[in-house]
Homo-oligomer: A and B are copies of this chain.
C-alpha cells in the first residue's frame, strides 16, 4: 500500500468531494490530485530524484497537505521540520539528511538565509499566493507550468519521511518511517472503529509536521474524509472552524485543550458536530480531562499514546475506557497493529503492576534513525522499540505511563519518578503548573527539585508545598529544593522541556 493510493480512491469515489478546506479555500479531491501530480512534476523539473529528501517548513495549510502527497508521488522523501526551531536547528536537520529542496511558506522565508549558513541547499520552493524572491521557485508556478506526472506509487517498505525528533532529550535525530509504518498505525487505529470517522471532517490544528497530527492526516486520508486546516492553534481558530465546517474529529495536545477550556468565549461556539476528540502527545492531567469532557459533552474521547518512532500509535484509550474512573490516567491498551510489553533492564517482560520500560513491536516501528546506527541499535533490539518511557501494565493490559526513563531521579539509591511527584504538586490549589527534575547533589547523587508556576494571585511557600507532599509521598520523594517561575519551557508538542530546565540549573 502507498499513501497516495488513498488520493486515487477518493477521486475514484467522488472527485468533486471537498478534500481540503483551508480558510475560505475549498479544494476537491480531483483538484488536489491534479495539483499533486503537477507539483510532483515541478519538483522533478528542479532536480528532485528518486529517494531525494524534500524538507517542508511552514504553518499548517492545504499546500502543506499537497506537499505531503506530491513528494512521494514524485518518488521522493518528505522531511517535515518543526517550524519553531531556530534557523541553526533547521539547518542542522537539512544538512544531516542532505535535503535537496526546502518547501517553505512566506512566514518562514526570512529564515532561509540563516538556514543556508548551515547547509548546502540547492533549491527553495515558496508556498505563497504572489511573487517569490529571485533565486527561489514558486509553488504555484511549478503547479501551473507542469502537466501532471504519473504517480510513482512509492510505498510499502520504501521511505515515506524522515522526522527529526529529540527536542526534549538531546540532539535531533531523523526518524525514518516507511509508507508501511505510517499505514500500519493508521489502519490499526481505524480498525478499532473508534478513530477518525470515514466520511468525516478532521481538523488539523496541531502542527502537521508532528506525528500526532500526521497520524490523523493519514487515517483521514485512508478512511476517506475531509481535511479542515487552520494555520495553527488558537482557541478562537479551533472553535470557529469546528462551528463553521461542522468538524467531526480533532486531534489536540493537552496544552491546547487547557487553552480551549480556559478560553472565556468557548461557550459561545456550536461544537455539537464534534464526534471525537483525540488527544495525546504528552500526559493529560485528570482534572483537565474532566473539564474537557464538560466543554465537549457530545464528543467521544480517545487517547493515543505513542511516539514518532512508532509512526506513532502504540496504545489507545477508547471512549468506553473513559467511563471507568481508574482508567482515565492510563494510556490505554495495545492497538490492533501493535505489540506492547513492559520490560526490565535485561529485556525480560516485567510482571503486571511493576514499573519497567515500555517496549513496542510491530509493522509501525521505524526502520531506524537516519545515519545513526548506534542510536538505532540502542533503541531497536530484537525488533522491539525501547521507548525510553517508564510505565506499568495492569491485569487487563492497560498501560500507565509513569515517566521518561531519562527523567527518573536516582536519589540516595532510590528511584523517584518525577511524574509521581508532579501529580501530587499539581493537586495543590496554589500550583498552576510544575516540573520535577533531578539536580546533582553531593550527598544524594541527585536531589529532587521542583519548579513551580504559582496559580494566579496565589503565593505558595516552600514549606507549604513540602508539607503537602509529605501527606502523600515517601520522604525521599519530597522535593529538597523548590523554586518559583512564571512559565515552564514547552516543546511545540506541549511537552515540558526538562532537559532545558536541568541544563539551565546545572550551569548556574
A residues bordering B, Cβ < 8 Å?
1, 5-6, 8-9, 12-14, 156, 184, 186-188, 190-194, 197-198, 222-224, 333-334, 336-337, 339-340, 362-363, 393, 396-397
Would B222 and A336 count as touching, CB distance under 8 A? yes
List chain B residues, Cβ under 8 A from A340. Answer: 12
**CA A5 to CA B340, docked complex, whole Å:** 11
* Residue in B9, B156, B393 whose beta carbon sits within 8 Å of that of A339 in the complex: B9
* Residue in B192, B222, B223, B362 whose beta carbon sits within 8 Å of that of A198 in the complex: B192
- The secondary-structure label for the interface of chain A is mixed
- Closest chain B residue to A363 by CB distance? B1
* Residue in B156, B222, B396 whose beta carbon sits within 8 Å of that of A191 in the complex: B222
**CA A14 to CA B397, docked complex, whole Å:** 7
List chain B residues, Cβ under 8 A from A187. Answer: 187-188, 190-191, 336-337
Q: How far is the CB of A310 from chain B (nearest CB, A)?
A: 14
Task: Enumerate 11 A-B pairs (CB-CB under 8 Å) in ascending A order.
Answer: A1-B184, A9-B397, A12-B340, A14-B396, A156-B363, A187-B191, A187-B337, A191-B191, A191-B198, A191-B222, A192-B198
List chain B residues, Cβ under 8 A from A14. Answer: 396-397
List chain B residues, Cβ under 8 A from A337. Answer: 1, 187
Q: How far is the CB of A318 from chain B (nearest CB, A)?
A: 9
Would B191 and A13 count as touching, CB distance under 8 A? no
**CA A187 to CA B185, docked complex, whole Å:** 11
Would A336 and B396 count as touching, CB distance under 8 A? no
Q: How far is the CB of A165 from chain B (nearest CB, A)?
A: 24
Would A12 and B334 count as touching, CB distance under 8 A? yes
**CA A159 to CA B362, docked complex, whole Å:** 18
**CA A193 to CA B220, docked complex, whole Å:** 13
**CA A6 to CA B336, docked complex, whole Å:** 7
- Closest chain B residue to A337 by CB distance? B1
* Residue in B9, B190, B334, B397 whose beta carbon sits within 8 Å of that of A190 in the complex: B190
Would B333 and A13 count as touching, CB distance under 8 A? yes
Known: A1-B362, A187-B336. 10 other contacts (CB 8 A): A5-B362, A8-B339, A9-B334, A9-B339, A12-B393, A13-B397, A186-B191, A190-B193, A193-B223, A194-B198
List chain B residues, Cβ under 8 A from A1. Answer: 184, 337, 362-363
- Closest chain B residue to A17 by CB distance? B396
List chain B residues, Cβ under 8 A from A224. Answer: 336
- Nearest 7 CB-CB pairings of A with B: A190-B191, A13-B397, A193-B193, A187-B187, A12-B397, A222-B336, A1-B363
List chain B residues, Cβ under 8 A from A334. Answer: 9, 12-13
**CA A1 to CA B180, docked complex, whole Å:** 11
List chain B residues, Cβ under 8 A from A198. Answer: 191-194
**CA A397 to CA B188, docked complex, whole Å:** 25
List chain B residues, Cβ under 8 A from A339. Answer: 5, 8-9
**CA A337 to CA B5, docked complex, whole Å:** 9
**CA A156 to CA B361, docked complex, whole Å:** 13
Would B223 and A9 count as touching, CB distance under 8 A? no
List chain B residues, Cβ under 8 A from A188. Answer: 187
**CA A148 to CA B334, docked complex, whole Å:** 24
Looking at A1, A6, A156, which has the most chain B CB atoms within 10 Å of its CB? Answer: A1
**CA A192 to CA B222, docked complex, whole Å:** 9
List chain B residues, Cβ under 8 A from A6. Answer: 336
Q: How far is the CB of A302 from chain B (nearest CB, A)?
A: 13
**CA A186 to CA B222, docked complex, whole Å:** 15
Would B9 and A336 count as touching, CB distance under 8 A? yes
**CA A397 to CA B9, docked complex, whole Å:** 8
Would A223 and B336 count as touching, CB distance under 8 A? yes
